[in-house]
Structure 1
Amino acid sequence: MPIPVPVLRLPRGPDGCSRGFNPNSARFRALHGEQAAVQGARAALRLRYLRALAAARGRPARFCLHAGVGVDAVFGAADVDAVAFQVDALQTPLGVQAAALLRCTDVLAFSFLLA
Structure 2
Amino acid sequence: MSAATSTRELVHPLRAEIRLEGVLHALSDPLRLSIVRDLACAEGELTCSQIPLPITKSTTTYHFRVLRENGVIQQIYRGTAKMNGLRRPDLDALFPGLLDAVLSAASAQAARGA
Bin for the TM-score computed over the shorter chain: under 0.3
Which structure has more helix as a fraction of its residues? 2
Which structure has more strand as a fraction of its residues? 1
Query: Which protein has greater RCO, CA pairs closer than 8 Å, 6+ apart?
Result: 2
| TM-score, scaled to structure 1 | 0.24
| TM-score, scaled to structure 2 | 0.24
Q: Which structure has the bigger radius of gyration?
A: 1
